[in-house]
Chains A and B, each alone.
Chain A
Amino acid sequence: MFPELNNLLNTTPDQAEQGKLTLLCDAKTDGSFLVHHFLSFYLKANCKVCFVALIQSFSHYNIVGQKLGVSLTTARECGQLVFLEGLKSAVDIFFRPQEDPHPLQFLREANSGNLQPLYEFVQEALKPMDSGEAAWRCPVLLVDDLSVLLSLGVGAVAVLDFVHYCRATVCREQKGNVVALVHDSGDAEDEENDILLNGLGHQSHLILRAEGLATGFCKDVHGQLRILWRRPSQPTAQRDRSLTYQYKIQDKNVSFFAKGMSPAVL
């Protein structure tokens, strides 16, 4: 969790909002620092997190999480974190086919499958405990990242359906949050990705967009972050609020500053 980003978003772990869909998007740069931020933020906020990690291994998130002050292994052991490791499960499914339905079953299918087993996995992971007392504050679904599903043969519409179902369950019923990362392919003319990105952009309450600098690589400013607050349910009576900051990623933190105000330039 980056304290400066919390200030920009006006949240603290104690007052995390509920029922929101947050879209993380990156264009020409790597936006995975945002995923690490939200993961550690919600773990510190005492929420139950279901993390569908399709692109990296568990130890990667664990080591970065330790730098940010959370331990994923402890969280997993005590049940706060449910971690679906996509890479390892994919290898298991592909080479040792199992009978019972697996969340990533679409990998085995010849035509573009649907993500219903994955949705059922999420639903099962985040359902409220029967013990009565609420151990965790609110359920959170974190997906890293949705563009990989397109590369694996799932159609954009199927991914949108999956997000819609998750939103209905997690955001509406259980008053939780959903955070998803999508890559923006920019000028690569990836139509499916654009459909996905636009569809999610219309549904989300908060869009965080990490972009590379328009003028190219810079050692001191790694990119630009655009924050857009939206209210998809209400008509646009109030204007959507948007802010832009530039950032520099350091070893354990990310520092944000206004455009052109990098300490290197001043």
Chain B
Amino acid sequence: MAAAATCGTGTRSTGSVVVAASRNNVTSFQRRGPRASGTDSGCSRLVSIAGTRPSVRNGQLLVSTGLPALDQLLGGGLAVGTVLLIEEDKYNIYSPLLFKYFLAEGIVTGHTLLVASAKEDPADILQELPAPLLDDNCKKECDEDICNHKTESNIKMKIAWRYQLLPKMEQARPVSSSRFGHYYDVSKRIPQELIEASKWHGFFLPEKISSTLNVEPCSLNHGYIKLLQFIQNIIYEEGFDGSNPQKKQKNILRIGIQNLGSPLWGDDICWTENCDSSHSLTKFLYMLRGLLRTSLSACIITVPTHLIQNKAIIARVTNLSDTVVGLESFIGSEKETNPLYKDYHGLIHIRQIPQLNNLIYDVSDVKDLAFKLKRKLFTIEWVQDNYLRQERNIYPPGFSYLLKQKDSAWGEGSLQHSTFLMSFLAKATAFASRLVRHSEPLEQTGSGRIRQAAGPRLWHDGPRQEAPGLLVIPP
């Protein structure tokens, strides 16, 4: 009975999304490549959707988030069928930017948009999207950015800059560029004709909530139920889940939900710790995940996690989302006066990246990232965090707890200190740990990544930006 039902649903879905000739149960995660399924041309059909590209790692279909730098940090882009959760910064200044980049990218590549908000009318949100940069202007922007950067971020900008060499965007008519990842000018608004040429659906909560509820009560919030039904309607009617076999080209649905979990959605997790409907948001995210996994869509959600009182809910929300990016702005915090951060507006943390169809995932080595919003561009760069990190560039990974102990045990110029350092450089960590009184390993301050092992020519090439901390007494 129940077992047969499960098998039944399995066979029903093989007709959806891509070709039925494939043996695998088909969702949007069709593996690309000649060996995935021998006969069919369904794989090539997926690749031909504008604004998408397959991941180099596992053939997963990716869409751009609108920021090429963020795409790289997420391993090439956002996978179709997944949720990108943005943890809002404290005063909600920068997270709407990422939200708008995502939607603007959808308009430029011709995807269908679904914008949901409880605060602003979706039509107004669309009016405020940044304008796409045309090629000659863009090149000038990137040129002036490149000369101010350090080596590491120079590499990033160079890679991103190469996108400019691809075929140019058309100017005159509505743009559906085949390029992956575009640049936007935040100081200008998107041209009206682009918005009108695009297809979008808006969900503004105060308008929708007045109608009666015709679904039996469950522990989900009324607003969330309405939103789920709206999304499911659009997906079903426009065939993003393959239910209506379309004659025309397959397209991606980009869903954007703003300020989810805030009191405007009727949820009380932001103002009390023991809330009645503590499962509303998590149930909503689970249902949303179910909808996304069976359709050609990608979703961005911004959640004010700094307002959520119950830390357990934050952990659950993170577990139920696929990609999680946290923004931490410096406004009003002590970091604002830190000279290290004087060029930046905040830190960006990539908290989670999904492992889809894979045992491992693409984690970028760079963990200390900061962003800044210039007049026209939002850029993400690597920043050195502290003295400890500079030293850690040379030491093998996983031993920085010894460094913390070392700092408290000896003075800077002492014999033990230099012996300790020398033995680390020689990678003879046994000697080094013998010098340290062993107790419980202390907590890590940063992320413990290693950039480059100390080789014989480490200081040969002139002053290195990475390791001055060793040779200079910190103030």
- A: which residues have CB within 8 A of B? 30, 32-33, 36, 56-60, 62-64, 67, 73, 76-77, 82-92, 94-95, 97, 103, 107-112, 120-121, 124-125, 147-148, 150-153, 183, 185, 187-193, 213-222, 249-252, 254, 260, 264-265
B243 interfacial by beta-carbon distance below 8 Å: no
Contact of A215 among B365, B427, B441 (CB under 8 A): B441
Of all chain B residues, which has the CB nearest A37? B359
Contact of A218 among B31, B314, B398 (CB under 8 A): B398
The answer to whether A87 touches B398 (Cβ under 8 A) is no
The answer to whether A63 touches B314 (Cβ under 8 A) is no
B251 interfacial by beta-carbon distance below 8 Å: no
> With A67-B359, A82-B3, A250-B360 in contact, do A265 and B9 touch (Cβ < 8 Å)?
no
The answer to whether A73 touches B24 (Cβ under 8 A) is yes
Contact of A221 among B314, B365, B398 (CB under 8 A): B398
B311 neighbours in A (Cβ, 8 Å): 187-190
Q: Bound state CA distance, A139 and B381, in angstroms?
A: 52
Of all chain B residues, which has the CB nearest A219? B365
The answer to whether B290 touches A88 (Cβ under 8 A) is yes
B355 interfacial by beta-carbon distance below 8 Å: yes
The answer to whether A147 touches B319 (Cβ under 8 A) is yes
Q: Bound state CA distance, A182 and B429, in angstroms?
A: 36
The answer to whether B9 touches A89 (Cβ under 8 A) is yes
The answer to whether A216 touches B400 (Cβ under 8 A) is yes
Q: Bound state CA distance, A107 and B9, in angstroms?
A: 19
Q: Bound state CA distance, A90 and B286, in angstroms?
A: 8
Contact of B286 among A59, A152, A191 (CB under 8 A): A152
B443 neighbours in A (Cβ, 8 Å): 214
Task: List 29 A-B pairs, Cβ < 8 Å.
Answer: A36-B359, A56-B293, A58-B10, A58-B25, A59-B26, A59-B357, A64-B358, A73-B23, A76-B7, A76-B10, A88-B290, A88-B294, A91-B232, A94-B228, A108-B216, A108-B218, A111-B219, A124-B3, A147-B316, A188-B314, A193-B312, A215-B441, A215-B444, A215-B448, A216-B400, A217-B363, A217-B449, A218-B448, A221-B397
Of all chain A residues, which has the CB nearest B430? A260
Contact of B320 among A97, A148, A188 (CB under 8 A): A148
The answer to whether B2 touches A95 (Cβ under 8 A) is no
> With A59-B25, A108-B216, A214-B441 in contact, do A265 and B319 touch (Cβ < 8 Å)?
no
- B: which residues have CB within 8 A of A? 1-3, 6-7, 9-10, 13, 23-27, 29, 31, 58, 216-219, 228-229, 232, 279, 282-283, 286-287, 289-291, 293-294, 311-312, 314-316, 319-320, 355-360, 363, 365, 367, 396-401, 427, 429, 441, 443-444, 446-450
A112 neighbours in B (Cβ, 8 Å): 219
> Distance in Å from the Cβ of B406 to the closest Cβ of chain A?
14
The answer to whether A125 touches B448 (Cβ under 8 A) is no
Of all chain A residues, which has the CB nearest B282? A151
CB within 8 Å: A-B pair count: 188
Q: Bound state CA distance, A192 and B278, in angstroms?
A: 12
Q: Bound state CA distance, A56 and B358, in angstroms?
A: 12
> Distance in Å from the Cβ of B79 to the closest Cβ of chain A?
11
Of all chain A residues, which has the CB nearest B400? A215
Of all chain B residues, which has the CB nearest A266? B427
> Distance in Å from the Cβ of B211 to the closest Cβ of chain A?
17
B401 neighbours in A (Cβ, 8 Å): 214-215
B398 neighbours in A (Cβ, 8 Å): 213, 215, 218, 221, 260, 265
Q: Bound state CA distance, A125 and B4, in angstroms?
A: 9
Q: Bound state CA distance, A251 and B294, in angstroms?
A: 25
Of all chain B residues, which has the CB nearest A83? B6
Contact of A91 among B7, B294, B314, B441 (CB under 8 A): B294
- Nearest first, the 5 A-B pairs at minimum CB distance are A216-B448, A190-B312, A87-B290, A151-B282, A188-B315
B7 neighbours in A (Cβ, 8 Å): 76-77
The answer to whether A97 touches B216 (Cβ under 8 A) is yes
A108 neighbours in B (Cβ, 8 Å): 216, 218
> Distance in Å from the Cβ of B457 to the closest Cβ of chain A?
21
19 extra interface residue pairs, beta carbon distance < 8 Å, beyond A87-B289, A87-B294, A215-B398: A56-B293, A59-B29, A62-B24, A64-B359, A73-B24, A77-B7, A90-B286, A90-B287, A109-B218, A110-B217, A110-B218, A151-B283, A183-B319, A214-B441, A215-B444, A216-B448, A217-B363, A217-B449, A218-B448
> Distance in Å from the Cβ of A262 to the closest Cβ of chain B?
8
B315 neighbours in A (Cβ, 8 Å): 183, 185, 188, 190
Q: Bound state CA distance, A95 and B227, in angstroms?
A: 12
A109 neighbours in B (Cβ, 8 Å): 218-219
> Distance in Å from the Cβ of A198 to the closest Cβ of chain B?
15
Between B290, B363, B449, the greatest number of chain A beta carbons within 10 A of the residue's beta carbon is seen for B290
Contact of B312 among A30, A97, A189 (CB under 8 A): A189
Q: Bound state CA distance, A102 and B396, in angstroms?
A: 53
> Distance in Å from the Cβ of A48 to the closest Cβ of chain B?
11
Of all chain A residues, which has the CB nearest B427? A265
Q: Bound state CA distance, A61 and B24, in angstroms?
A: 11
A88 neighbours in B (Cβ, 8 Å): 9, 13, 290, 293-294
Of all chain B residues, which has the CB nearest A249? B360
Of all chain A residues, which has the CB nearest B36? A63
> Distance in Å from the Cβ of A34 to the closest Cβ of chain B?
11
A36 neighbours in B (Cβ, 8 Å): 359
Q: Bound state CA distance, A239 and B55, in angstroms?
A: 49
Q: Bound state CA distance, A58 and B449, in angstroms?
A: 34
Q: Bound state CA distance, A72 and B279, in angstroms?
A: 33
Between B367, B396, B429, the greatest number of chain A beta carbons within 10 A of the residue's beta carbon is seen for B396
Q: Bound state CA distance, A188 and B397, in angstroms?
A: 26
The answer to whether A60 touches B29 (Cβ under 8 A) is yes
A216 neighbours in B (Cβ, 8 Å): 400, 444, 446-449
